[in-house]
Chain A
Amino acid sequence: GQQVMQIPQYQHVQEGEDFTTYCNSSTTLSNIQWYKQRPGGHPVFLIQLVKSGEVKKQKRLTFQFGEAKKNSSLHITATQTTDVGTYFCAGTSGTYKYIFGTGTRLKVLA
């Protein structure tokens, strides 16, 4: 079945450093979504990418969808302590069944 993997599993950064998480699907995706989940909280929608090669920015966050629509990345510039949490990608192959990635847990050291 479809699998979505994320790397790294954990990332500790010093405040002000950049952070990137990568998402790889075993199958071609029709679209991909990114979520952030704070410790003890629920996933919160960040963005959705649909087009091959699409790049979207939200302030310090940059999201990219690969040309083959099988991978995606989230890059955070100059991390802040408020960026702490687990970042999940979730992709679908068009069946509306979203497969969540394994997540990347980000810890920001002040």
Chain B
Amino acid sequence: DAGVTQSPTHLIKTRGQHVTLRCSPISGHKSVSWYQQVLGQGPQFIFQYYEKEERGRGNFPDRFSARQFPNYSSELNVNALLLGDSALYLCASSLRMGVTEAFFGQGTRLTVV
């Protein structure tokens, strides 16, 4: 079985641009969460989606948005990129919401210049 896959693996964008990051969860997993990890820090929760609905949102500005598709894959969109958005963006999938193990993808390394 394939694990959680994220694309692209690396990305360089200019300030003010928009970016879309993609995540395919493990087959059968219906919950996808997005995290931002700045170098040297722990992952910061951005969003959780379950059954195509947003179930949780972290303390991120409205420039960050996401959605989950009928096949449970997910996109994270960030508008009006700032230098401070440079980070590793991680997607985690889990079987369902609640007390359950999360499997992380390799992440997308976003650099904003």
Contact = CB atoms under 8 A, between A and B. Distances in A.
A42 B99 CA distance: 20
A96 B48 contact: yes
23 contacts: A30-B99, A31-B99, A33-B101, A41-B106, A42-B107, A43-B43, A43-B90, A43-B92, A44-B104, A45-B102, A45-B103, A48-B99, A48-B100, A50-B99, A88-B43, A90-B42, A95-B56, A97-B48, A98-B45, A98-B102, A100-B45, A101-B42, A103-B41
A102 interface: yes
Interface string A93-110: 001111111110000000
B103 A100 contact: no
Contacts, number: 53
A96 B56 contact: yes
Chain B, interface size: which category?
20 to 34
Contact of B90 (A1, A31, A42): A42
Contact of B104 (A31, A43, A50): A43
Nearest to B6: A42
B18 interface: no
Interface of B: 33, 35, 41-45, 48, 55-56, 58-59, 90, 92, 97-107
Nearest to B50: A96
Contact of A88 (B42, B48, B106): B42
B43 A100 contact: yes
A48 B105 CA distance: 19
Contact of A42 (B56, B59, B97, B106): B106
B58 A97 contact: yes
Nearest to B58: A97
Contacts of A90: 42-43
Nearest to B100: A48
Nearest to A43: B104
